[in-house]
Amino acid sequence: MSMGTRPRAAGPPRWFEASPRRRGATAPALLFWVLGIAVFVLPFFRQPFSAEWVNSDDPRSAKNWKAEDQPYNELDVPFKEDLAYYDKDLASELGGKSLAEFVNTASEEYFGVKSSYLRDSGVIEVGRLASGRKTYEAECAGCHGIDGANTVPGDGGGPAARFMHPRPRNFRKGKFKFTSTATGERPMRKDLYRTVTNGLAGSSMPSFKLLTDERRKDVVEYVRYIAMRGEFEEMLLSITIDDGSLPDAKEYADLVSERWDERKLSSVFPSTPETQNDAASIARGKALYMDTSRANCVSCHGETGVGDGPSAKAFKDEWGYPIVPRDFTGGVYRSGGENAQLWTVIATGIGGTPMAAFAGSLSSDEIWDVVHYVRSLERKEN
């Protein structure tokens, strides 16, 4: 089957006990605030799970799912929409078997909360999931998605998502932007914990330092869980589309479990201590930054580091959303502002984006040189 196109939700408060003159002034003010709050809040609740309200150029737009010339890999089609479509489309090839029933049954068997397979695998701390789910639903679901008419937990399609740029992460793809593991590997718990704790600077992802340490650990475990389960479901769907037959669910459950097994992951970056940050290091870093045959940072981030290189406007991430190179002059980095965090980003790349990994093409010391040059581009306050 071609994947090129695809037709693709008690008494009054004390402040009211005032003089008649005071009450007269308070009533209009109260009305003003009520209207103001309504204007801000109501859009979040109006058609929160419908795909039709999304901008027409958005990869999550139902209009684009139905476009004949829209590449499949530039669509962020909600899983429920995808599964329902192919359940009908592949019915004859599957001999009348229900793809949706197969995926849902396998998902519950291998990655359900009460699954003996999941418990025995040791990949997830099952005891944290109930608390993690409560925290997720209270703090995260509005952006990252809940179980609704057209969304599932973790798909990045929460009711507030359409107002955000960049869009909240879709955890179900198994891709996370900022990790300390090797390129392509799943994140470790501490990577997700760091993001939950510190947030992502320059984005809508806030810090959750006010949550207790245990609640943050619980929600990290729940995010790992819904990401694993989502990756498994998406994999079964994709394999069935490609092969035209139902796959061996356990084979892919084992593959997903192995990918997420922290006992087989390790933080490999930074691999060496920071070198001397001096004029010589900055000069070497600049040479690498400008060298189109080596680091070639200039083609995306521009000669002055403002993100205006010749390729800057050509990029989309793996979820289909436009993405622009970082403006280094502002000194704001999503992964964090420590030099070691920048080293890790350059070494491992940013998952799901055009930002490549340079650990194989630059030495550790050369990456430190690039870090030092990038930091030198930041605007200095007078």
Query: Using one digit for the tens of pLDDT, what is the confidence trace for 86-136?
Result: 999 999 999 989 999 999 999 999 999 999 999 999 999 999 999 999 999
Q: Comparing 286 with 178, which gets the higher pLDDT?
A: 286
Answer yes or no: is pLDDT of 167 > 90: no
Query: Using one digit for the tens of pLDDT, what is the confidence trace for 233-251?
Result: 999 999 999 999 999 999 9
SS3 322: strand
Are 167 and 161 contacting, i.e. CB atoms less than 8 angstroms apart?
Answer: yes
pLDDT value, residue 271: 78
Class of CATH domain 279-376: mainly alpha
Give the residue carrying structure tokens 């740029």.
165
Q: Give residue 32's pLDDT band: very low, low, confident or very high (50, 70, 90).
A: low
pLDDT value, residue 61: 55
pLDDT value, residue 76: 67
Q: Give residue 47's pLDDT band: very low, low, confident or very high (50, 70, 90).
A: very low
Answer yes or no: is pLDDT of 283 > 50: yes
Residue 239: count other Cβ atoms within 10 Å of its Cβ. 16
pLDDT value, residue 279: 97
Answer yes or no: is pLDDT of 53 > 60: no
Q: What is the mean pLDDT of residues 342-357?
A: 87
Q: Which of the residue ranges 9-18, 103-112, 334-343 has the most confident prediction, judged by mean pLDDT?
A: 103-112
pLDDT value, residue 248: 97
pLDDT value, residue 140: 94
Answer yes or no: is pLDDT of 51 > 50: no
When the pLDDT of each residue in the chain is averaged and rounded to a whole number, the result is 81
pLDDT value, residue 62: 53
Answer yes or no: is pLDDT of 6 > 60: no
pLDDT value, residue 29: 54
Q: Give residue 230's pLDDT band: very low, low, confident or very high (50, 70, 90).
A: very high
- Which percentage of the chain shows pLDDT scores above 70? 79
Instruction: Give the type of residue at 322.
Output: P
- Poorest-confidence range of 20-29, 181-190, 297-306? 20-29
Q: What is the mean pLDDT of residues 130-145?
A: 95
DSSP string, 219-285: HHHHHHHHHHHHHHHHHHHHHHHHHSS---HHHHHHHHHHHH-GGG-----S-S-----SHHHHHHH
Answer yes or no: is pLDDT of 231 > 90: yes
pLDDT value, residue 9: 34
Instruction: Give the type of residue at 242.
Output: D
Burial class (CB in 10 A: 0-12, 13-18, 19+), 101: exposed
Write down the domain spans for the chain.
1-74, 78-264, 279-376
pLDDT value, residue 66: 56
Give the residue carrying structure tokens 């521009």.
302
Nearest to 135 by CA among 214, 31, 252, 54: 214
Are 290 and 298 contacting, i.e. CB atoms less than 8 angstroms apart?
Answer: yes
Answer yes or no: is pLDDT of 180 > 80: yes
pLDDT value, residue 161: 83
Q: Comparing 40 with 82, which gets the higher pLDDT?
A: 82
- Between CA 158 and CA 169 the distance in angstroms is 10
Q: Give residue 30's pLDDT band: very low, low, confident or very high (50, 70, 90).
A: low
Answer yes or no: is pLDDT of 372 > 90: yes
pLDDT value, residue 255: 97
Instruction: Give the type of residue at 176.
Output: F
